[in-house]
Structure 1
Amino acid sequence: MTAPALPSVWAGRVAQQDWAALAGELDTHGHALTGPLLGPAECHALTALYDEERHFRSTVDMARHRFGSGEYRYFTHDLPDVVAELRASLYPKLLPIARDWAERLGRPGSWPPDLTDWIERCHRAGQVKGSQILLRYGPGDWNALHRDLFGDMVFPLQVVIGLDAPGVDYTGGEFLMLEQRPRAQSRGSAIALPQGHGLIFTTRDRPVRSTRGWSAAPMRHGVSLIRTGQRQTLGLVFHDA
């Protein structure tokens, strides 16, 4: 009988996070910062892939599309091991949170336990393009507030991992979130993303208590102006485009 595969070092780091605390942060703020998921050498290895065309299906110039300023590249489905392992390890940890949110908001929450099955559902619905990205910003670059919605098949949480050190490799470039609060002014957050750490955040909204039970508070995300240096991140999205 074949022995079961041992979990990767990346799966081990995902498992070691305090998921109860992260779920609480997500409930309160719509975003939550993890501990380290990647070491500095692993971050550098990922950023080095950016200039290797074979890893990517397309490149987006944000200024051209009026998304902001900067550039990002979509990986092909043939993901580097570290990207594939992190995505596969994070999905089952995020799934209970996603299902809980869906129940509170009265939405279907029928995501399957296995990420592969969920991605197959996306493909059957016509969302067949890989959505994992490397983003690169230089001085003066920024990202407009937006949501990563590519069709009807949506997973409500995603993760961005910092690949450079804020205050050392670059200044500025905080991760921004804006929440539209029911019958109130919008609330903003600015998060410095430590190198190798992940930020879990809502894809489109989060449940908030209201006089009638639970309501959906829409949220968008972006990146503030990079003042100096270069800021690079890995984006993990759990639905295809």
Structure 2
Amino acid sequence: MTSTRTPAAAGPWADRVDAVDWAGVRGELDSYGCALTGPLLSPGEAADIAALYPEVSRFRSTVDMARYRFGEGQYRYFAEPFPDPVVALKQALYPRLLPIARDWWARLGREAPWPDTLDEWLAMCHAAGQTRSTPILLRYGPGDWNALHRDLYGELVFPLQVVINLNDPGVDHTGGEFLVYEQRPRAQSRATATLIPHGHGLVFTTRDRPVRSARGWSAAPVRHGVSVIRSGRRFTLGLVFHDAT
């Protein structure tokens, strides 16, 4: 179940991306900074990806979150060749997320740097020195959690990313809600918690997003994290659309 970085999006994963209510996703992102997609991976596909975690050779690096005070738990960055679903989902999701990203930057009076295809965008990242792969497989056990943070990795940033729950909440784990924390201009900060269903995706804000203010549109900084796992084990797949320095 492996592939190179950039084949055309195909197969069941692209079909599932096409079946997403993208108008609904856009509305939820505008309201809350995050939105569920519906199923992107079958239970079997999710289990296959989670089962890769012990295969250290499949990853370029491992991060112990406690060591860096990122929380508790561990995650690994995939090395190439990536699993087929990772490649196909990124290729299929990028053109769906791109209009939202460009619209957000237009509201904020910013020039949108993202080209029409993921391949062109990753080539821009590499030319800027961001050459390290960023698909992430995260593993949490009882008591583990992820501190509020942003996945920036360099100067070039895509403003949306996707996380997929590889386990069945309430069955495989309790706790582990995905958290989005937004600092709203001249207002109290707001947190949104989402329990992501098995195999479903959540689109969320990478760094900041436009919100209405007295002056029109303002950029609201956003961070994300994961609440404490109370029992069981939780694996998630993170799809970031820019590479790292």
TM-score using structure 2 length: 0.95
Matches within 5 A, 1:24-39: 24-39=27-42
Matches within 5 A, 1:143-158: 143-158=146-161
Matches within 5 A, 1:49-198: 49-198=52-201
Please report how far the alpha carbon of residue 77 of structure 1 lies from its aligned counterpart in structure 2 after TM superposition: 3.1
- Measured in 1, the distance between the counterparts of 2:43 and 2:187 equals 41
- Aligned partner of 1:45 in structure 2 is 48
- Aligned partner of 2:18 in structure 1 is 15
Please report how far the alpha carbon of residue 106 of structure 1 lies from its aligned counterpart in structure 2 after TM superposition: 1.1
In the alignment, is the contact (CA less than 8 A) between 2:14 and 2:88 conserved in 1?
A: yes
Q: Which ranges of structure 1 fall in alignment gaps of 5 or more residues?
A: none
- Indicate whether 1:238 and 2:233 are aligned: no
User: SS of the residue aligned with 1:51?
Assistant: coil
Which of 199, 211, 230 lines up with 2:202 in the alignment?
Answer: 199
Q: Which ranges of structure 2 fall in alignment gaps of 5 or more residues?
A: 1-7
User: SS of the residue aligned with 2:235?
Assistant: strand
Percent sequence identity is 67
TM-score using structure 1 length: 0.96
- Measured in 2, the distance between the counterparts of 1:204 and 1:16 equals 27
| Stretch deviating more after TM superposition (73-82 or 163-172) | 73-82
Letter in 2 for 1:122: C
In the alignment, is the contact (CA less than 8 A) between 2:9 and 2:88 conserved in 1?
A: no
Query: Segments of 4+ in structure 1 off by > 6 A?
Result: none
Post-superposition Cα deviations, 1:129-161, rounded to whole Å, max 9, x if no partner, equal 001100000001000000001111000000000
- Measured in 1, the distance between the counterparts of 2:164 and 2:170 equals 16
- Measured in 1, the distance between the counterparts of 2:242 and 2:213 equals 29
